[in-house]
Homo-oligomer: A and B are copies of this chain.
Amino acid sequence: MPSKTLWSVLASILLCAVAGSPASRAEPTEQADPLGSWREGPAKQSIVDFVSSVVDPESDGFVPPKDRIATFDNDGCLWSEQPLYFQALFAFDRIRALAPEHPEWRVTEPYKSVLEGDTEHVMQAGKQQVLEMLIAAHAGVTGEEFDQIVRDWLEVARHPSTGKAFTEMVFQPMLELIDYLHSNEFRVFIVSGGGIDFLRVFSQDVYDIPPERVVGSSIGARFEMREGIPVVIKTPELAFVDDKEGKPVGIHQHIGRRPIFAAGNSDGDLQMLQYTTILRGPGDTTPRLGVLIHHTDADREWAYDRDSHVGRLDAALDEAPERGWVVVDMRDDWSRVYPAADP
C-alpha cells in the first residue's frame, strides 16, 4: 500500500501539530481534583500513585526535583492527529502559498497533487520526493519568519472535519496532567517526531511548555549576515529525525538525562518508553512510569491502533503489560476529550 510509505515519511519528519492563540482550558470538573477530566480507575490511580511517591521525602521512591524529568509525545498524545498529522496540513498550505514562485510545481509530483487539492494522490509520489517537498515547505526563511508563518496559519486554519482551530484539539486530560506534573516540580518536555520549530510556536501558550523544552525533528540551519542583520536561516536538508530510536537520542542530546516519566501513543514512542522505564539493574530503584494513550473513542475523537497509517500503535501495545506501562483508554478513562464541551 503506497500510502503507508508516505505516512511513515510524514511520521518521520512532521508528526506534529498546530496552534496560535492560547487554548482556553476548561475548568476542572471537580474543584479539588487536578486531574478532574480523568475518571477514577487504574490509569488515573497509577499516575497519582507514581507522583505521590516521587514527591514524598519519606518514600523509598522519592526523587529530587532536579531529576523529575517528564517527556510527552505530541501528535496523538497531547492533541489529535487524524486524519493526518496537523503539520502536514500546514506543509500543504505552505506549498500552495509558495507555488507562485515555483511554476514548475504545477507539473511536478508530488507538488502538483497538493496544488490540485488531491492529497490522496500525494502519497503516490516516491518517499524521497515527498520528503523533499516537506522540507521545502519549512526551509528558506529565517527562524523569526517561520515563527510568523506558523502563527498566521494557526490563526486561520481549521480542521477539515471538526472545523475547530487545531489548538482547540488538544486533550484536556493531558493539559491537566502537565499542570499536575508542573505543580509537583517536574520539568516537562515535549519529545515529538514533528518539527521542533513548528511546535515551539505554540508550546508555551497551549501547553505551558517553553520553547527550550521542546525536542523534535529538525532541518538544517545556517548563520548569515543579511544586509547587516544577523539571522539564522532554515536550510533544506534533514538534520535530525526525532522518532522511534531517534527519541532517546533526542532526549540525550537536548535534555542530557533519562526521564522518569514518558507518555506516548504510537510505536514511534516505543523506544522512548523503553529508555525511560526499563531499570538498569539492582541499583536502579528510581520509580518510573510509562503511559500509552490508546485511541478508543470514535464518538468524541477517533478510534485506531494497529492498522492505522497515522499513529500506528502495535508493538508498543504488545509490550505494555510486560513493562507495566499504563494504557489509557480514551473512551473509558477520560470524562472529557477537548477543552470545549464534547459533542
Q: Are A229 and B280 in contact (CB under 8 A)?
A: yes
- List residues of chain B with CB within 8 A of the CB of A239: 253
Complex: A312 Cα to B221 Cα, angstroms: 26
Complex: A110 Cα to B253 Cα, angstroms: 29
Complex: A143 Cα to B258 Cα, angstroms: 10
Closest to A250 in B: B221
A136 in the interface (beta carbon within 8 A): no
- How many positions in chain A have a CB within 8 Å of any CB in the partner chain? 43
Instruction: Choose among A230, A245, A258 the residue with the greatest number of B CB atoms under 10 Å from its CB.
Output: A230
Interface residues of A in 183-223 (CB under 8 A from B): 187, 189, 196-197, 200, 204, 210-214, 218, 221-223
A248 in the interface (beta carbon within 8 A): yes
- List residues of chain B with CB within 8 A of the CB of A257: 211-212
A164 in the interface (beta carbon within 8 A): no
- List residues of chain B with CB within 8 A of the CB of A228: 278
Q: Are B196 and A256 in contact (CB under 8 A)?
A: yes
A90 in the interface (beta carbon within 8 A): no
Q: Are B278 and A218 in contact (CB under 8 A)?
A: no
Complex: A271 Cα to B252 Cα, angstroms: 26
Q: Are A253 and B196 in contact (CB under 8 A)?
A: yes
Complex: A249 Cα to B247 Cα, angstroms: 21
A278 with B230, Cβ < 8 A, contacts A212-B213, A212-B255, A214-B256 known: yes
Q: Are A230 and B275 in contact (CB under 8 A)?
A: yes
Q: Are B197 and A256 in contact (CB under 8 A)?
A: yes
A274 in the interface (beta carbon within 8 A): yes
A102 in the interface (beta carbon within 8 A): no
Closest to A251 in B: B232
Complex: A197 Cα to B254 Cα, angstroms: 10
A256 with B223, Cβ < 8 A, contacts A229-B280, A232-B249, A278-B228 known: no
Complex: A225 Cα to B280 Cα, angstroms: 11
Q: Are B196 and A223 in contact (CB under 8 A)?
A: no
Q: Are A221 and B252 in contact (CB under 8 A)?
A: yes
User: B223, B251, B256, B274: which contacts A275 (Cβ < 8 A)?
Assistant: B223
- List residues of chain B with CB within 8 A of the CB of A247: 223
Complex: A211 Cα to B275 Cα, angstroms: 18
Closest to A271 in B: B223
User: B143, B197, B253: which contacts A221 (Cβ < 8 A)?
Assistant: B253
Instruction: Choose among A196, A210, A213, A252 the residue with the greatest number of B CB atoms under 10 Å from its CB.
Output: A252
Selected A-B contacts with CB under 8 Å, 14 pairs: A66-B210, A196-B253, A200-B256, A211-B255, A211-B256, A212-B212, A222-B249, A223-B246, A223-B247, A223-B249, A230-B271, A232-B249, A232-B251, A232-B252
Give the 4 A-B residue pairs with the shortest CB-CB distance, closest first.
Answer: A211-B256, A223-B245, A232-B252, A200-B256
